[in-house]
């Protein structure tokens, strides 16, 4: 039933009051609901946003309700004018996986393109905090844009990974039946997979199970393998996309925040950044957790991002009991309405991870890890793993080497927004890209390309080179290749990171691949130095020295992860 504006406002207000006990002021303009008021907690504000978004007639929700602890948005200050006078056909705000995938896609055309990233490196917000899964589409709600991008994006990864020389493993999600009743549920998953346009899953008997996931509990007789689940390194993928885009002419500006958007007669004219104003006529809003701010700067905000934090724990490589993303029916229903509930997931580098959690938080910058988060993850997944793999060493907290958190950029509609603005010509929104954004990235980039081509008809770049070659990895070479490499460049003979066996040659190589490096974490993301058991405890001083030498900066100015995260406070003897 379609309600008129007044009836819809009243119904939303009543529903919010019924569910939260609080009264919000509701107004509606162009099918966008604006909520105002004063509520007691962030969770009640988020609930109100979701209630309003549930109505089909509602295109988006602007949730302006105040609550104790709400943080005002303070845009960063301008620091210089060094980019003033620059002009590009396209400016992409945000150097996460989505921004770089779009940049590479658009580099197939004769368009001058720039990517503006506020951090000192690419892919450090949502992208770095993801669980690195190329999800099957069956985990997303069919009919949504999220689902469409997921089922289109997942298979595209075979070509993307091969062209960009990035490791991808199709490990699959293995759902095991712990009793005969659960075996009957496989047909439901099979039906759902087909409905979601995934390839048909494969039913496995015990013999096949032993080959794919050895040493399962004796009571497990059957399993169902959802074959298209993949794992990848989001760090490597982001850098690879960016390097390839750069080789095809895209320019990257890190440490640069967009702080304003200029329009003229309803069209994009320029972006104001912390390093000066850049002229452009196409602005792609791929700003993740701040996509609503960019939309506001441009005068077309119709959604609010509410950050949903997820914590993950990673175990040492010496403890890796799974080859697949291992799931049991007992884990079903563990997720909330808006998140998948996490899992037992291998990483491409051979670690085990448990995660992520899902918690609505007030602060988009909240990447704090909590003792409670660790306990929740361990208590949820360790018993399942112990039960499914009883002959394997028990999960042990002392094997956890790192614990991290990141926020998902969720809108209240809980769907992706990939569309040209209907108010500002030249503005394209790529917002609300929460999970499965990584799995969807190639399809999202393709969708943006279609929008740009339809509107601007750019000529093709005849020199577009889709392939990128990654640097040498010492651990992957055989003895003869190692000796040869060391003969040519002795730096490959100096092992800097003993946990991950990373040589100085690999670290130095990272500096010659185009994207500037100024932090310890930028090296960690590219060369894996510091990713292992000691988390950089031993190699950090040497990595710091290499950064200082290669980037030509004082040691005291080298940071852990950009901003003011300096490692050294002053010079000692």
Catalytic machinery residues: 135
| Count of residues interacting with ligand FAD (CB under 6 A) | 41
**Which residues in 432-461 contact ligand FAD (CB under 6 A)?**
433-439
| Least distance CB 201 / ligand FAD (angstroms) | 19
The two three-digit tokens of residue 54, written as one number: 């549930």
Question: Are residues 530 and 524 in contact, defined by beta-carbon separation less than 8 angstroms?
Answer: yes
| Least distance CB 362 / ligand FAD (angstroms) | 16
Strand order in 133-134's β-sheet? 133-134, 230-232, 168-169
| Least distance CB 117 / ligand FAD (angstroms) | 5
Question: Are residues 446 and 452 in contact, defined by beta-carbon separation less than 8 angstroms?
Answer: no
| Distance from C-alpha of 544 to C-alpha of 229, rounded to nearest angstrom | 37
Instruction: Please provide residue 452's backbone torsions phi and psi, each rounded to the nearest 5 degrees.
Output: -65, -45
| Distance from C-alpha of 274 to C-alpha of 271, rounded to nearest angstrom | 10
Q: x/- site string to ligand FAD, residues 339 to 368, per CB under 6 A?
A: -----------------x------------
Size of the chain, expressed as the number of residues it contains: 573
Task: Name the strand (E) or helix (H) holding 145.
Answer: helix 145-164
Question: Are residues 331 and 445 in contact, defined by beta-carbon separation less than 8 angstroms?
Answer: no
Binding of ligand FAD by 201 (CB under 6 A): no
Question: Are residues 317 and 351 in contact, defined by beta-carbon separation less than 8 angstroms?
Answer: yes
**Which residues in 109-148 contact ligand FAD (CB under 6 A)?**
116-119, 123-127, 129-133, 135
Closest among 145, 100, 150 to 417, alpha carbons compared: 145
| Distance from C-alpha of 319 to C-alpha of 404, rounded to nearest angstrom | 18
Nearer to ligand FAD, 125 or 213 (CB): 125
Binding of ligand FAD by 327 (CB under 6 A): no
Nearer to ligand FAD, 95 or 532 (CB): 95
Binding of ligand FAD by 530 (CB under 6 A): no
Half-sphere exposure of 414 (CA within 13 A, CB side): 20
Nearer to ligand FAD, 435 or 503 (CB): 435
Question: Are residues 242 and 122 in contact, defined by beta-carbon separation less than 8 angstroms?
Answer: yes
Contacts of 201-208 with C-beta under 8 Å, sequence gap 24+, read: 201/225, 201/226, 201/227, 202/227, 204/174
DSSP 389: S
Nearer to ligand FAD, 133 or 543 (CB): 133
Nearer to ligand FAD, 102 or 496 (CB): 102
Nearer to ligand FAD, 26 or 138 (CB): 138
Binding of ligand FAD by 102 (CB under 6 A): no
| Least distance CB 307 / ligand FAD (angstroms) | 9
| Distance from C-alpha of 114 to C-alpha of 154, rounded to nearest angstrom | 27
Among 109, 157, 252, 290, binds ligand FAD (CB under 6 A): 290
Binding of ligand FAD by 166 (CB under 6 A): no
Q: x/- site string to ligand FAD, residues 392 to 411, per CB under 6 A?
A: --------------xxx---
Binding of ligand FAD by 277 (CB under 6 A): no
Binding of ligand FAD by 413 (CB under 6 A): no
Binding of ligand FAD by 288 (CB under 6 A): yes
Nearer to ligand FAD, 325 or 540 (CB): 325
For 480, counting Cβ atoms within 10 Å of its Cβ (0-12 exposed, 13-18 middle, 19+ buried), the class is exposed
| Least distance CB 206 / ligand FAD (angstroms) | 29
**Which residues in 476-515 contact ligand FAD (CB under 6 A)?**
none
| Least distance CB 497 / ligand FAD (angstroms) | 25
Query: Can you give the binding site for ligand FAD, defined by CB under 6 A?
Result: 93-99, 116-119, 123-127, 129-133, 135, 257-258, 286-290, 310, 356, 406-408, 433-439
């Amino acid at each position: 039933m379609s309600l008129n504006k007044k009836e819809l406002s009243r119904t939303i207000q009543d529903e919010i009051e019924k569910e939260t006990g609080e009264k919000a002021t509701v107004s509606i303009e162009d099918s966008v609901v604006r909520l105002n008021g004063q509520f007691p907690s962030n969770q009640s504000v988020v609930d109100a946003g979701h209630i309003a978004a549930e109505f089909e007639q509602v295109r988006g929700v602007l949730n302006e309700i105040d609550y104790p602890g709400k943080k005002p948005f303070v845009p960063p200050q301008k620091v210089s004018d060094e980019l003033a006078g620059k002009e590009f056909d396209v400016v992409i705000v945000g150097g996460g996986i989505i921004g770089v995938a779009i940049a590479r896609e658009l580099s197939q055309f004769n368009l001058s393109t720039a990517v503006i990233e506020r951090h000192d490196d690419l892919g450090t917000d949502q992208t770095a905090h993801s669980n690195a899964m190329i999800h099957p589409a069956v985990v997303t709600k069919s009919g949504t844009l999220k689902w469409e991008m997921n089922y289109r994006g997942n298979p595209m990864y075979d070509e993307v990974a091969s062209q960009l020389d990035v490791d991808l493993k199709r490990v699959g999600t293995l759902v095991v039946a712990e009793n005969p009743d659960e075996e009957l549920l496989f047909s439901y998953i099979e039906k759902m997979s087909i409905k979601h346009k995934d390839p048909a899953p494969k039913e496995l008997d015990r013999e096949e199970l032993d080959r794919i996931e050895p040493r399962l509990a004796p009571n497990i007789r059957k399993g169902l393998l959802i074959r298209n689940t993949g794992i990848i390194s989001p760090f490597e993928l982001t850098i690879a996309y960016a390097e390839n885009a750069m080789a095809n002419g895209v320019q990257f500006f890190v440490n640069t925040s967009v702080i304003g958007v200029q329009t003229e007669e309803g069209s994009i004219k320029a972006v104001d950044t912390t390093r000066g104003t850049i002229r452009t006529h196409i602005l792609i809003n791929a700003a993740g957790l701040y996509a609503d701010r960019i939309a506001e700067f441009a005068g077309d905000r119709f959604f609010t991002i509410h950050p949903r934090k997820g914590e993950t724990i990673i175990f040492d490589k010496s403890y890796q009991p799974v080859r697949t993303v291992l799931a049991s029916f007992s884990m079903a229903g563990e997720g909330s309405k808006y998140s998948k509930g996490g899992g037992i997931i291998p990483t491409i580098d051979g670690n085990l991870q448990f995660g992520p959690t899902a918690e609505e938080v007030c602060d988009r910058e909240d990447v704090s890890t909590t003792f409670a988060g660790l306990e929740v993850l361990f208590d949820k997944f360790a018993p399942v793993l112990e039960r499914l793999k009883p002959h394997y060493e028990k999960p042990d907290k002392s094997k956890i080497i790192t614990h991290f958190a990141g926020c998902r950029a969720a809108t209240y509609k809980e769907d992706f927004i990939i569309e040209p603005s209907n108010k500002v010509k030249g503005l394209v929104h790529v917002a609300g890209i929460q999970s499965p954004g990584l799995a969807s990235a190639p399809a999202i980039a393709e969708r943006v390309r279609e929008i740009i081509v339809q509107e601007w008809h750019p000529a093709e770049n005849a020199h577009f080179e889709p392939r990128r070659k990654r640097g040498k990895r010492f651990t992957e070479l055989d003895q003869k290749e190692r000796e040869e490499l060391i003969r040519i460049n002795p730096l490959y003979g100096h092992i800097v990171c003993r946990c991950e066996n990373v040589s100085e040659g690999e670290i130095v190589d990272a500096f010659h691949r185009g994207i500037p490096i100024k932090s310890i974490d930028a090296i960690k993301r590219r060369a894996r130095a510091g990713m292992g058991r000691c988390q950089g405890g031993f190699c950090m001083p040497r990595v710091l020295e290499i950064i200082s030498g290669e980037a030509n900066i004082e040691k005291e100015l080298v940071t852990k992860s950009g901003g003011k995260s300096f490692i050294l406070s002053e010079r000692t003897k």
